[in-house]
Amino acid sequence: MHSVLSHPLVDHRVALLRDRATPPKLFRELASEITEFLAFEALGDLRTAEIPVETPLKKTTGRKIADRIVLVPILRAGMGMLDAMLRILPYAKVGVLGMQRNEDTAEPIPYYAKVPPAQGDELAIVIDPMLATGGSACDAVRQLRKLGYKRIKFLCLISAPEGIGKFEAEFPDVPVWTAAKDSYLNSHHYIVPGLGDAGDRIFGTL
C-alpha cells in the first residue's frame, strides 16, 4: 500500500525542493517541513492511552502516545528527515542503516548498521528522501525483519513507480508514504523529474 500526500502546503514545498537553484540551507528546511506533514498523515494510526489531565478549571482526561517507536534513517540522506521526526516524536529511539548505491548497477551496498533489536511490537519508521529503484528501502526492511521488527512504515519525499512496485511486491504489508510519485527512472537510475542527488543537496556536496 502506498499513499501520496496531496496538499497545497506540501506541493508548494516539493516544487521548491526540486528547484536546482534551492541552496542546501533552504533544501534542508523544506525537507524537514515536508517530513512533518508526511509524518502527520502517516502516523494517524498510532496507538494511544488515556491519561488524567488537570486543567485550571477541571479534572479531565487526555491521550498520550502508547506506541514505542524506532526511527531508522538510511544514511546519509535519511539524516535530512531525522530532526523533523524527532521534533514530533521526541521519545523515539534512533537506529541507523548506512547504504551507498553502486553508481553503475544502483545495487545498495550496506556499510553500517546500528539498530536496536526489536523487544516487542515497536513500530519502526524507515526514513529516506528518495525511493528510486527500491533497492535501499528493501534492504533496510529486510535488515529490520531480521532484527525482529514486525510493524514497519517507510516514509520518503520523492518516489519512482519502479521503486514503489519493487517495494510493494516484496513487502505488501509495509505502508509507503511519499510526498510525490514521479514519472520514471533515467538510465542512471535517477528519479525524473526528481530533485537530483538528495544527499548532495542536503549536505552541500554537489
Task: Please report, as ranges, the residues that interact with ligand PRP according to CB under 6 A.
Answer: 74, 76-77, 99-101, 106, 108, 128-137, 163, 189, 197-199
- Distance in angstroms (rounded) separating the CA atoms of residues 69 and 125: 7
> 34 contacts which partner out of ligand URA, ligand PRP, none, CB within 5 to 8 A by kind?
none
Q: Is 101 a catalytic residue?
A: yes
> 194 contacts which partner out of ligand PRP, ligand URA, none, CB within 5 to 8 A by kind?
ligand URA
Residue 194 interacting with ligand URA (CB under 6 A): yes
Q: How far is the CB of 82 from ligand PRP (least distance, A)?
A: 13
Over its C-alpha atoms, the chain yields an Rg (Å, rounded) of 17
- Distance in angstroms (rounded) separating the CA atoms of residues 197 and 190: 8
Which one of 132, 138, 144, 179 is in contact with ligand URA (CB under 6 A)? 132
Q: How many residues bind ligand URA (CB under 6 A)?
A: 9
Q: Is 87 a catalytic residue?
A: no
If the CB atoms of residues 67 and 162 are measured against ligand PRP, the closer one turns out to be: 162
Q: How far is the CB of 206 from ligand PRP (least distance, A)?
A: 11
And the C-alpha cell for 125? 519508521
Q: How far is the CB of 99 from ligand PRP (least distance, A)?
A: 6
DSSP lists the bridge partners of residue 152 as 124
β-pairing, 59-65 vs 48-54, is antiparallel
Task: Out of 68, 101, 145, 151, pick the active-site residue.
Answer: 101
Cα torsion angle, 57, 54, 122, 116, sign: positive
* E-state strands within the chain: 2-4, 48-54, 59-65, 69-75, 93-94, 96-101, 108-114, 123-127, 130-131, 151-159, 176-181, 184-185, 191-192
Which one of 93, 110, 190, 203 is in contact with ligand URA (CB under 6 A)? 190
